[in-house]
A and B are shown apart, each in its own frame.
Chain A
Amino acid sequence: MTRNNVVTVLDPRGQPSGVFGRRSSGDNPGTILSPRVRPVDDRESMEKLQMAERLDTLEGKLIYLVDVGFPGSKEFLEELAEWFKENMPSVKVVYKQKKFDPYSDDPELWEEIHANKGDGVILGVGG
């Protein structure tokens, strides 16, 4: 094969799979290191996930500030709570820390928020 000969080579890139995500399991937070045992989502199931309808106003509403666990999240959300207290005092904010690592689901917390008739969630802060 000389330098100017035309050659054919194989494509090195992986194929799109329609599979997304590498959530770790809330039951076993250590699975963050092993994608083989983590649940995944496919395109179709993700497209079915609907955003919640927005609130008409925040006045008088119960808003959860959910800390995902990255460094600084708690402190940032505390400042956010202060802002609401000073600028929108009718908004009731509740701080909660999500269980396990930032990638894990926490169904119990979502249940708790529903049960307490939470109106909205601010989730943060991404790392």
Chain B
Amino acid sequence: MFLRYVFPPHPVGFIPKEKLRGYVDGINPVSGKPLMPEMVEALTKPLTEEEKNPVIEKRPKRPRLLPPDTEENLYRLFIENGWTDGNPIILPTEERVAEMLTGTDRDPQEVIGRMSVTTHQERLEYTVEKVAVIAVMAGCRPEHLPVLLAIAATEIPAFPSSTTSFSSMIMVNGPIRHEIGMNCGLAALSPFNYANSVIGRAWTLMSINFGDARPGDTFMHSLGHPINYNNLCHAENEEDSAFEPYHVEKGFKPEESTVTLFRGWNYNGINLGPAKAMAEALKRQSSMGRAGTFIMDPLVSAHLKDEGFKTKEELRQYIAKEAETFPQMINFIVVGGQTNPMWALTDYTPSITVSIDEWIPKTGIKKDEKPIRMPQPVLCKDGICGI
């Protein structure tokens, strides 16, 4: 179906009335013609034959394999076609993709979703094998594949095409966190963990290639967002938290592994202080209204218990009342290494929590004989380091 559009200059939000009137009396910056006569014409000019008989272009099916070439030329092809995030990738050869597919029992040709970063464009379809291709490109190993399949099956892109420049966050709960070596403790949100890094990046590459993100065409972030590179991928520190794990709060069993996707814009700094300070911070937060997710160190969760909040729900009710908002708009997750009782307020709200277990092979996570792990944090055990 066609629609007739007339474009005023941007922005229209948060600008004086006089300027808006100038837009109305002025020129359509796209067509270069006076705006209001165009508006009237859009309502009165008879439909064209093309408009009466709309045809939506049918894009051809893509071949499974790209034409063979040298590694150097293919690497250039991926970058120049906009199929990467600009960082180096591992080329998805048949051999590497076949190995990646050992990370699940699912049929490689099973269609598991359709995605678009735009609201109304054609959604691109993908199979288990396509997710494995992305996993190879991002530098993943087969042990990471179940998490990526669970994320892909949500059909949610990491960065939908809003001019406001969305960002997203990934959090993993349950036993898989440790099985694949994710970090939920010290510096969990920093680039010191292999699994956190490549899983977060893979969602970005999925969003580019499955979501069909093409800047200026289907993707219109004005500023863009640095979090789009990795999507704050981490695991929750369930063991050191004074509260129940996030996925249990959402109705999953503790022994189930899940991934939760959050969306918003901002990671609003690091803060200290009790529940009252948390409520005040939420009250000041304006980008998403008074909704958000607190990311707190386990020490904070313990302090909040000492304050008298036995559960997250009690804390949620208190903060909602103090911040004059709705309890269901407030979320808490526990991450970090207990070196400082700090919390961060984000304007992220959860999109979905899904099980990872259905994507794990019946024989369990497919691990390498010697799994790749970055150095583990060296923690003070004897109390003499001053922390």
The answer to whether B91 touches A83, judged by C-beta atoms less than 8 angstroms apart, is: no
* CB-defined contacts of A116 to chain B, threshold 8 Å: none
Task: Tell me, yes or no, whether A115 is within 8 Å of chain B by CB.
Answer: no
User: What CA separation (Å) do A79 and B35 show in the bound complex?
Assistant: 13
Task: Tell me, yes or no, whether B218 is within 8 Å of chain A by CB.
Answer: no
User: What CA separation (Å) do A58 and B43 show in the bound complex?
Assistant: 8
User: What CA separation (Å) do A94 and B340 show in the bound complex?
Assistant: 57
Contact of A3 (CB < 8 Å), options: B1, B25, B71, B92: B71
Contact A75-B20, Cβ < 8 Å, known A18-B58, A33-B156, A103-B119: yes
* CB-defined contacts of A122 to chain B, threshold 8 Å: 39, 43
* CB-defined contacts of A3 to chain B, threshold 8 Å: 70-72
Contact A79-B24, Cβ < 8 Å, known A8-B94, A12-B83, A15-B62: yes
* CB-defined contacts of B210 to chain A, threshold 8 Å: 13-14
Contact A51-B47, Cβ < 8 Å, known A22-B119, A22-B120: yes
- Interface size of B in residues (CB-CB distance below 8 Å): 82
The answer to whether B92 touches A9, judged by C-beta atoms less than 8 angstroms apart, is: yes
Interface residues of B (CB under 8 A from A): 1-4, 8, 11-15, 17, 20-21, 23-25, 36, 39-40, 43-47, 51-52, 54-56, 58-66, 68-72, 74, 78, 83, 91-94, 97, 114-116, 119-126, 129-130, 133-134, 137, 154-156, 162-164, 205, 209-212, 263, 349, 351-352
Q: Can you offer 24 A-B residue contacts whose CB atoms are under 8 A?
A: A8-B65, A9-B92, A10-B94, A10-B97, A13-B212, A14-B114, A14-B126, A14-B211, A16-B122, A21-B120, A34-B154, A35-B154, A36-B352, A43-B56, A47-B54, A49-B54, A51-B1, A53-B46, A53-B47, A58-B43, A72-B11, A72-B12, A72-B14, A80-B24
Interface residues of A (CB under 8 A from B): 1, 3-23, 33-36, 40, 43, 46-47, 49-51, 53-58, 63, 70-73, 75-76, 79-80, 82-83, 87-88, 103, 120, 122, 125, 127
